[in-house]
Structure 1
Amino acid sequence: MNASMRAVVVDRPGGPDVLRVSEVPVPQAVAGQVLVRVLAFGLNRSELHFRRGQASFGTLPRIPGIEATGIVEAAPGGEVAVGTQVATMMGGMGRTIDGGYAEYVLVPAAQVIPFVSDLPWDVLGAIPEMLQTAYGSLAVGVRAVAGDSLLVRGGTSSVGLALAVLGRLQGLTVLSTTRSPARRSLLEGMGVDHVVLDDGAIADQVRAIVPEGVDGAVELVGVNVLRDTLRAVRSGGTACFTGMLSDEWTIDGFYPMDWLPNGVRLTAYSGEAADLPASVLQDFLDAVADGRAKVPVGRVYHLDEIARAHADMETGVLGGKAVVVL
């Protein structure tokens, strides 16, 4: 193995230009750690927040990236065989430990999820964090069961598209929002049953489709529309706060009696690698390979294009998950 690797390093907060590709030492694994040769990684908005200096934790200089997909290069403790295909995510990656924007990433052994797949690496790189977030929002957040109706607020985001795919696999009726009529075909192509054009107030539109209100809703836009999303949920149903595409995270003057409709439950979801069972990842990969599910890859980049990829993520032109392939 070469003593150095190419990696994106951020040493100060700022715009996409602070993402610079550098030569840095390849990290060395000890027992309890796994060195992964990164073949692809997806981009996430939390990395945008970290790059801007908006993150609630983390230190600089740092290699960003909360996820990566690749092949095990070394595992001195024998926890996983060299050559195994793995995904890894979270656990402080890109914040308190160096992350996936690199040719190699070093993570705790418990933080890798093995899989077997012949899918191309741009597809595999798009999946881990997107699937973990969508799966957890359904299984832990709204606790959806077959036959339920699900509202996805922020449906054209990568997680929103993944929720549509999972919802279809799980037998849900999926309503997804978009602010752009031009994105209707994208949502329908992912299996969305009802596309709702979001003008900032969608509860009445949703109840025109599901008069009693939806069984569950996943909020991906932010607290600026959360109150309206809650109004679209039936009494006894659940809204899960998962994302903040609007970059609005906190509620000033939150008065529960006024905000929460009678009987509507509000929860939240954010997960780690341990929250995505290997069997769930493998089943999803098999469903993609069989044509039963789609992966919403928006655009694919090389490592040298990382600043452009961040700029595209920031302006919202991706139409799916941005992926960097090494």
Structure 2
Amino acid sequence: MKAIVINEAGGPSNLTLQNIAEPTATEGSVKIRVKAFGLNRVESYFRSGLYGTLSEPRIPGIEAVGEIVIDSSGTFAEGQKVFTAMGGLMMARDGSYAEYVTAPLSHVQAVDADISWQDLATLPEAYLTVWGSLSKTLQLKAGETLLVRGGTSSIGLAAITYAKFLGAQVFATTRQKANKQRLFDIGADKVFVDDGQITQQVRAEKPEGVDKVIEVVGASTLIDSLKTVRHWGEVNVVGLLGGAPVLESFGLMSDLPNTVKLSFFSTGLLGSEHMPFSESPINELAHKLVKGELPSLLSKSFDFEDIQAAHEFMESNKGLGKLVVTL
């Protein structure tokens, strides 16, 4: 099979197209013919040697959509449309940048929507993350106000559309004034240009503070985000776009407002008893995307052979949405 392989850490040019043996599905896993996959920033970190150790040639990629080739358990039928994400992809097993991939049964879900592979590939990792953050952690409800800190990232855009799907009012931030319209187009009710300190802007719009915050930027804006929240509200951190996840100093009484809750969510829980794939909203969202009831996150699509250009574009921060690679 054809696969994208990293032989040593480095830039996008270190992603090489090679012919290697197809993977074999072991007990408890399935084999999937990959039709498309979304790109994620963690894959560029992995390629660069900033996320884990590259001690041997590895295939990157933490999500994929495609068709079942083999499932000895009989859970899925041959040719069935599915998606997978996490489940050790790229770390404990080869990743999804390949014509075939194996995945644990616990990290595979069927999709019955009549949706293109390209559109389906925009959904898994982004919406599984915001599902874990907004539904599972923040328990966002209709009528509440959510602030999306880092709205132009793929996770931020997914958070905006998913929060609107849940019936919430959505405030969002962008560092570039030119990107405000993109956030309005995706569903944001109010957009703030973010210079690192937006509390005054948010409080001017909602004096008592917002109900919930999904923090995609991370440590660099966290303290300011906490100040935008009403009493008994909550901030959930999901991203690290602003740099290392470390605060040099954090005062529990001076920086954490009275009664405001702070939490962190990562997709490592996906597929566990706490977040079974069978409960994920991806299939429902796929149907809504097909019907035009959910805005598309797609920013740009690349052919498999253009993976180096795809990574270069991802690192340019010009995407304003989800980047997809099709096979």
Q: Show the 5 A alignment for 1:1-326.
A: 5-56=1-52, 60-271=56-267, 272-274=269-271, 275=275, 276-278=277-279, 280-326=281-327
* 2-structure distance, mates of 1:103, 1:259: 49
Indicate if the aligned counterparts of 1:303 and 1:324 stay in contact, CA closer than 8 A. Answer: yes
Tell me whether 59-68 or 141-150 shows the greater mean CA deviation.
59-68
Q: How many Å apart are 1:37 and its aligned residue?
A: 0.4
Q: How many Å apart are 1:64 and its aligned residue?
A: 0.4
Unpaired runs of at least 5, structure 1: none
Letter in 1 for 2:63: E
Over 3 Å counting, the alpha-carbon distance change for 1:279 and 1:92 in structure 2 is: closer
Letter in 2 for 1:324: V
Q: How many Å apart are 1:81 and its aligned residue?
A: 1.1
CA RMSD of aligned residues (A): 1.4
Q: How many Å apart are 1:59 and its aligned residue?
A: 5.2
* 2-structure distance, mates of 1:296, 1:74: 31
* 1-structure distance, mates of 2:126, 2:21: 29
* 1-structure distance, mates of 2:52, 2:254: 29
Q: How many Å apart are 1:295 and its aligned residue?
A: 2.2
Indicate if the aligned counterparts of 2:131 and 2:280 stay in contact, CA closer than 8 A. Answer: no
Letter in 2 for 1:247: G
Indicate if the aligned counterparts of 1:99 and 1:105 stay in contact, CA closer than 8 A. Answer: yes
Indicate if the aligned counterparts of 1:156 and 1:319 stay in contact, CA closer than 8 A. Answer: yes
Tell me whether 268-277 or 162-171 shows the greater mean CA deviation.
268-277
Letter in 1 for 2:130: A
Q: How many Å apart are 1:56 and its aligned residue?
A: 4.5
Q: How many Å apart are 1:57 and its aligned residue?
A: 6.4
* 1-structure distance, mates of 2:24, 2:164: 42
**Total equivalences in the alignment:** 322
Q: How many Å apart are 1:216 and its aligned residue?
A: 0.3
Query: Percent identical across equivalent pairs?
Result: 39
Unpaired runs of at least 5, structure 2: none
Q: How many Å apart are 1:48 and its aligned residue?
A: 1.3
* 2-structure distance, mates of 1:208, 1:269: 29
1:158-203 deviation line (CA, Å, top 9, x unaligned) = 1111111111111100001011111111111111000111111111
Q: How many Å apart are 1:40 and its aligned residue?
A: 0.5
Letter in 1 for 2:3: A
Tell me whether 271-280 or 140-149 shows the greater mean CA deviation.
271-280
Indicate if the aligned counterparts of 2:64 and 2:84 stay in contact, CA closer than 8 A. Answer: yes
Q: How many Å apart are 1:79 and its aligned residue?
A: 2.4
Q: How many Å apart are 1:291 and its aligned residue?
A: 1.5
Tell me whether 305-314 or 147-156 shows the greater mean CA deviation.
305-314
Indicate if the aligned counterparts of 2:4 and 2:18 stay in contact, CA closer than 8 A. Answer: yes
* 1-structure distance, mates of 2:86, 2:75: 19
Over 3 Å counting, the alpha-carbon distance change for 1:19 and 1:137 in structure 2 is: same
Indicate if the aligned counterparts of 1:64 and 1:98 stay in contact, CA closer than 8 A. Answer: yes
* 2-structure distance, mates of 1:14, 1:234: 44
Letter in 1 for 2:289: V
What secondary structure, in the 3-state scheme, does the structure 2 residue paired with 1:259 have?
Answer: coil
Over 3 Å counting, the alpha-carbon distance change for 1:277 and 1:250 in structure 2 is: farther
1:223-251 deviation line (CA, Å, top 9, x unaligned) = 01111111111110000000011232122
